[in-house]
Amino acid sequence: MHHLNFGSSTRVGNVRSHNEDSFRAEPELGLWIVADGMGGHKGGATASAIAADFVVEKIRAGDALENAIAGAHHAVLQASRDGKGPEGMGTTIVALGINGHACEIAWVGDCRAYLWDGATLTQLTRDHSYVQHLVDTGVISSSESARHPYQDILIQALGAADIPDVNVEKITREL
């Protein structure tokens, strides 16, 4: 039998005056979520909480992780329309779902998931950012991306004008 150890920590950092992150751990559902409210945009903390809570609710109801995250986009937009948050609020999100021996990660934006195997830390997600697109298309190198002036520009987020594509990766290695 495998045991999964997890923990969480979040901090404001050096730039912002408050934290806009939301974390949910629902081990009985096999679900872990990090949502990072879009800093510099009004309502990031509200958007991240709405998205994380929505995904938990949908997984509890039996929905697939990809569908739950896609629905969270609409939940953030609806909350804004209903006056539960400001117009333009948004968040990025990453979630791990475990069902028996099947694991998957789903994400939108630049929230990342990593796998630590006791010796190596491996990034499992790819950012939905302008700079990652430049790297992927060969315009700039990976090393140039760290100091690119547009490194914080997202091309996908929950609550954005365009409907995001939820990326899903199945984890096939043993955890």
| 104 strand-pairing partners | 97, 170
User: What's residue 133's pLDDT?
Assistant: 95
- What does 122-167 look like in DSSP terms, one character per residue? EE-----BHHHHHHHTTSS-HHHHTT-TTTT-BS--BTSSSPPPPE
Q: 159 is written with which tokens?
A: 């609550």
Give residue 38's domain range: 21-171
Rounded Cα–Cα distance for residues 55 and 50 (Å): 9
**Structural domain contains residue 112:** yes
**Structural domain contains residue 122:** yes
| Confidence category of residue 1, pLDDT binned at 50, 70, 90 | very low
Beta carbons of 56 and 71 less than 8 angstroms apart = no
* Number of domains the chain contains: 1
**Structural domain contains residue 7:** no
Helix-strand-coil split of the chain, %, nearest 5: 25, 25, 50
Beta carbons of 121 and 163 less than 8 angstroms apart = no
Rounded Cα–Cα distance for residues 49 and 77 (Å): 13
Distances (CA, A) of 36 to 95, 117, 120, 122, 136: 12, 25, 25, 20, 23
**Which CATH number covers residue 83?**
3.60.40.10
User: What's residue 95's pLDDT?
Assistant: 98
67-112 pLDDT per residue, tens: 999 999 999 999 999 999 999 999 999 999 998 888 999 999 999 9
118-175 pLDDT per residue, tens: 899 999 999 999 999 999 999 999 999 989 999 889 999 999 989 999 999 998 766 5
